[in-house]
Amino acid sequence: MQGNSRLLYYLAITVIAVAAAFWLAPQPKAEKGKEGDKKSSVTQQKAEGKDAVKPKTVEWKTEAEQHAKAILRLKQQRTARIETELFVATVSNLNAGFTSFKLKGQRYRDKDGKPIDIVTTDKERYLPLAVQLEDVDENAPAIDPDALWKVERLSERGIRLSWSDNALAVARKLEATDGPYQVWVTTTIANRGEKTRRLAHAISSHHYVESKSEKATIPFLPIRSPYVSNGLCRYALAGKAQQGQDNTEYELERFDRKTLLTPHVLKGPVAFTGVESVYFLSAVAPHPGPGPKEAEACLLKSSQRGVDSDGDPLGSLFSSELRYRAVTLAPGQSKSYRALAYLGPKMPADLSKAGHSFIKSIDLGFFSLISEGLTWLLRIINNLVGNWGVSIILLTLLVKIVLYPLTAKSFQSMAKMRVLKPEMDRINELYKEDREKKGAALMELYRQHKINPLGGCLPMLLQLPIWFALYASLSTNIELFNAPFTLWWQDLSSPDPYYVLPVALGVLMFVQQKMTPSTAMDPVQAKMMLYLMPAMMMSFMLFLPAGLCIYILTNSAMSIGQQRLIEHRLKHVSAAHAAPVQEVKAQRAETDSDSSADKQSVSVIRVIPNKSKRRTRRGRK
């Protein structure tokens, strides 16, 4: 229902926009003017001679030649295969980069049922982990751009690529490690020439994402798409890196596509650099060796690729580059570089096994400590029950038990306020024109009955960090990716396809608002809270992961049950004290009636003597 309403809303806006554009469109005369401008432009070109149109022809030929050259080179491509129990990767002989890195397993499949490929680029210059080598003195690539690498298979898990000319020889070994989604990258550079050369080596990662995939699910709300991508660099400032590897303080920098439209160069020893989406990572880390750290900087940047009919970019290309310091090689000398590449899901256990602080790539937000603890607890529960949906429900139950003392105190305060509702209504009616007196009377009533009107807000405030932490955990937890619960909830990391959970949450929120006393509010405000709050929560939950919806729905149901239980206990306590209270009230009423009758008779008797005394006094006067 909400989806259809939202669709109708956008269709209406589109129709209005199209109608307005048609109504405000220029008249045909303006088009004739444009045609005239075009004719005058052509006439001017003819008057200037053939040289006026020659650059366009040359540019077209150059583009055509480049396109034909790219096609011819692509026909020369040969690939080698690296396969493990977790992935199948192919490497190109054009630049020793990966053309694909497909994950195995039923979980890691896209909506079409195809294996997820970590490599999202298809052009040669943007293939991940390709060999990059620059001649510093010449300020040009040291490897021939038209080079074809020789491929040698070492085993099913490793290959060797080599290229050489008269002055240089480069060999690269790619070998899958025993760890998940890890590949050792070893590059050896040898100077075969007769002169000394200064060479700079670098390794790049690239990632392409469509702009429509990166857009937020709900405009103006911080609900991010799982395809949102960033460039990453974990490095140490140069001044903090002199104490050694163990004492070096590293910082993680994460930049989005808009920020990286301006390239960022981060100088200092690098722990790792790469590109990421919410659930997957493509990164490379230099293997530490003796002596000073050679990976001295990382470059992060993004660029817009293609435009649609409206002129908006179709997608963004993210690039991260691990830069080693330049090395001077005399004739006959060689230099080797060793790095660990991780291309796969952001599974905490797998990232921890890879080391190199790859685990830091998981973004758990401001409440990361709480998120880590909840994720750890959720994982333990799942190891026992074997279902992530059930694990979320049990985790919610544990959170409610921990917060029970505060929640019970809050519900007791709200129940007492409900008992005082008639008195509050009387005060509201009595001082409806004077807010200050009404507020003072209500506060005095709260003081007499020892009620804290803000007591009901404390548990909610304490739960906010848990909500935020759970949102960060459940929305970034790759373990929930394509994880089934039951029925049609087959992916807890994506929204409910039939909106059952959000609608059920809206109903529970309405019931909860109905049970909450609203005597301190105006009737209009109370009515707005009764209907507006559930509607807002339901609309927000439409786009949240199903796992988070399960938590909020379970939490709301348990809160309602807990509130009813506390109110039931308070009624029993009130009934136990009801009889004595009624007897005391009856006795007070009888006493008050007797005393009032005596006062009336005494007053009648005393009035007559008082008058006579006054008359005698007046007579005497």
- φ/ψ (deg, to 5) at 168: -150, 145
Confidence of residue 408 (pLDDT cuts 50, 70, 90): low
Tell me which residue of 191, 77, 169 sits closest to 123, measured CA to CA.
77
The one-letter code for the residue type at 127 is L
Has residue 425 got a pLDDT over 60? yes
Can you give the pLDDT at residue 429? 73
Half-sphere CA count of 55, side-chain side, radius 13 A: 2
Beta bridge partners of 344: 281
Q: Which residue has the higher pLDDT, 199 or 367?
A: 199
Lowest mean pLDDT among 91-105, 185-199, 478-492: 478-492
Can you give the pLDDT at residue 509? 78
What is the full DSSP assignment across 398-440?
Answer: HHHHHTHHHHHHHHHHHHHHHHTHHHHHHHHHHTTT-HHHHHH
The CA distance from 204 to 130, in Å, is 7
Has residue 423 got a pLDDT over 70? yes
Confidence of residue 410 (pLDDT cuts 50, 70, 90): low
Confidence of residue 603 (pLDDT cuts 50, 70, 90): very low
The CA distance from 82 to 299, in Å, is 28
SS (H, E, C) 170-196: EEEEEEECCCCCEEEEEEEEEECCCCC
Confidence of residue 15 (pLDDT cuts 50, 70, 90): very low
Question: E strand or H helix at 315, and its extent?
Answer: strand 313-324
Q: Which residue has the higher pLDDT, 142 or 239?
A: 142
418, 439, 447, 617 from 427: Cα distances, Å: 14, 9, 15, 49
Has residue 126 got a pLDDT over 80? yes
The CA distance from 232 to 275, in Å, is 6
Has residue 563 got a pLDDT over 60? yes
- Mean pLDDT on 55-79: 71
* Composition of the chain by helix, strand, coil, percent to 5: 50, 25, 30
Lowest mean pLDDT among 206-215, 408-417, 438-447: 408-417
Confidence of residue 515 (pLDDT cuts 50, 70, 90): low
Q: Which residue has the higher pLDDT, 589 or 404?
A: 404
- Mean pLDDT on 341-352: 92
- Mean pLDDT on 104-117: 87
What residue segments make up the domains of the chain, in order of their start? 79-363, 370-576
Place of tokens 């680029």: 121
Question: E strand or H helix at 450, and its extent?
Answer: none
Please check whether residue 479 is in contact with residue 388, taking contact to mean a CB–CB distance below 8 angstroms. Answer: yes
- Mean pLDDT on 241-257: 71
Can you give the pLDDT at residue 564? 75
Has residue 48 got a pLDDT over 50? no
> Tokens representing 379?
């994982």
Can you give the pLDDT at residue 305? 86
Can you give the pLDDT at residue 465? 79
- Mean pLDDT on 498-519: 74
The CA distance from 107 to 492, in Å, is 12
Please check whether residue 546 is in contact with residue 485, taking contact to mean a CB–CB distance below 8 angstroms. Answer: yes
The CA distance from 260 to 318, in Å, is 8
Tell me which residue of 329, 323, 338 sits closest to 288, measured CA to CA.
338
Pairing assessment for the beta strands 182-191 and 270-276 based on DSSP bridges: unpaired
Lowest mean pLDDT among 372-376, 387-391, 457-461, 487-491: 457-461
Confidence of residue 289 (pLDDT cuts 50, 70, 90): low
Q: Which residue has the higher pLDDT, 605 or 184?
A: 184
Q: Which residue has the higher pLDDT, 460 or 212?
A: 212
- φ/ψ (deg, to 5) at 177: -90, 180
For 465-488, how does the pLDDT look when each residue is reduced to its tens digit (9 = 90+)? 777 777 777 777 787 887 778 877
For 134-184, how does the pLDDT look when each residue is reduced to its tens digit (9 = 90+)? 999 888 999 988 889 999 998 889 999 999 988 899 999 999 988 899 999
Beta bridge partners of 418: none
The alpha-carbon radius of gyration of the chain (Å, integer) is 37
Classify burial at 533, counting beta carbons within 10 Å of its beta carbon; exposed 0-12, middle 13-18, buried 19 or more. Answer: middle
Q: Which residue has the higher pLDDT, 77 or 520?
A: 77
The CA distance from 418 to 423, in Å, is 10
The one-letter code for the residue type at 11 is L
Residues of the chain above pLDDT 90, percent: 27
What is the full DSSP assignment across 543-554?
Answer: TS-HHHHHHHHH
Can you give the pLDDT at residue 460? 64
- φ/ψ (deg, to 5) at 57: -65, -40
The CA distance from 222 to 337, in Å, is 41
Please check whether residue 480 is in contact with residue 545, taking contact to mean a CB–CB distance below 8 angstroms. Answer: yes
Can you give the pLDDT at residue 388? 86
Q: Terminal CA-to-CA distance of the chain, rounded, Å?
A: 94
79-363 domain in CATH 3.40.190.10? no
Place of tokens 């607890």: 377
Can you give the pLDDT at residue 307? 78
Has residue 602 got a pLDDT over 90? no
Confidence of residue 572 (pLDDT cuts 50, 70, 90): low
Can you give the pLDDT at residue 472? 77
Instruction: Find all residues with CB under 8 Å of 100, minimum gap 6, and list them.
Output: 88, 89, 90, 117, 119
Can you give the pLDDT at residue 207? 94
For 216-235, how does the pLDDT look when each residue is reduced to its tens digit (9 = 90+)? 655 545 566 788 899 999 99
Helix axes 546-576, 388-402, angle to 10 degrees: 40
Place of tokens 């003081």: 447
CA torsion, ordered 576, 577, 582, 585, to nearest 10 deg:
180
CA torsion, ordered 260, 263, 265, 270, to nearest 10 deg:
40
Has residue 592 got a pLDDT over 50? yes
Pairing assessment for the beta strands 230-235 and 270-276 based on DSSP bridges: antiparallel
**Average pLDDT over the chain, rounded to whole?**
75
What is the edge-to-edge ordering of all strands in the sheet holding 150-155? 150-155, 158-164, 168-176, 182-191, 334-345, 280-286, 270-276, 230-235, 251-255
Q: What angle do CA 254, 282, 177 make, to 5 degrees?
A: 135
Please check whether residue 349 is in contact with residue 375, taking contact to mean a CB–CB distance below 8 angstroms. Answer: no
Confidence of residue 573 (pLDDT cuts 50, 70, 90): low
Say how many residues make up the chain.
Answer: 621
Can you give the pLDDT at residue 346? 92
Confidence of residue 14 (pLDDT cuts 50, 70, 90): very low
